[in-house]
């Protein structure tokens, strides 16, 4: 899954794109739908979550996936920083997005 502000180039593998400009936030429902799909697929196949630098958007997406997998929303950023990268989830609004992600209605 690509987390970019513009559509990525075509790939030889099955890929999804979530419009997510750097330092901003994606549409909550679209993000939830694609991250639920990524979590489901990760049980049986390799799933890659990628943005430009691998910190803000990727960290935020991983924290949201942790919430979907049962990590309490108020602990998800710390969980990702412990298990992925210490500086993951860069901005206050990205942290808020994770905290509120649990409450977003499922699609």
Cα–Cα distance for residue pair 107/87, rounded to 1 Å = 30
Q: Which CATH architecture has domain 2-101?
A: Alpha-Beta Complex (3.90)
Cα–Cα distance for residue pair 83/71, rounded to 1 Å = 13
What's the pLDDT band for 68 if we cut at 50, 70, 90? very high
Predicted TM-score (pTM) of the model is: 0.90
Q: 75-101: per-residue pLDDT in tens? A: 999 999 999 999 999 999 999 999 999
* Percentage, residues of the chain above pLDDT 90: 78
Q: 3-22: per-residue pLDDT in tens? A: 988 888 888 888 999 999 98
50 Cβ contact partners less than 8 Å away, ≥ 6 residues apart: 1, 2, 3, 58
Concatenating the DSSP letter of every residue in 13-75 gives S---EEE--TTS---HHHHHHHHHHHHHHHTTS----B-SSSSHHHHHHHHHHHHHTT--GGG
């Amino acid at each position: 899954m690509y987390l970019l502000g513009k559509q990525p180039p075509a790939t030889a593998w099955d890929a999804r794109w979530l419009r997510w400009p750097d330092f901003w936030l994606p549409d909550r429902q679209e993000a939830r739908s694609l991250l639920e799909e990524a979590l489901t697929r990760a049980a049986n196949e390799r799933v890659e979550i990628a943005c430009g630098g691998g910190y803000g958007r990727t960290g935020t997406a991983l924290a949201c996936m942790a919430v979907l997998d049962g990590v309490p929303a108020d602990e998800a950023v710390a969980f990702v920083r412990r298990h992925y990268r210490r500086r993951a989830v860069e901005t206050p609004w990205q942290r808020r997005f994770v905290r509120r992600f649990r409450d977003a209605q499922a699609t």
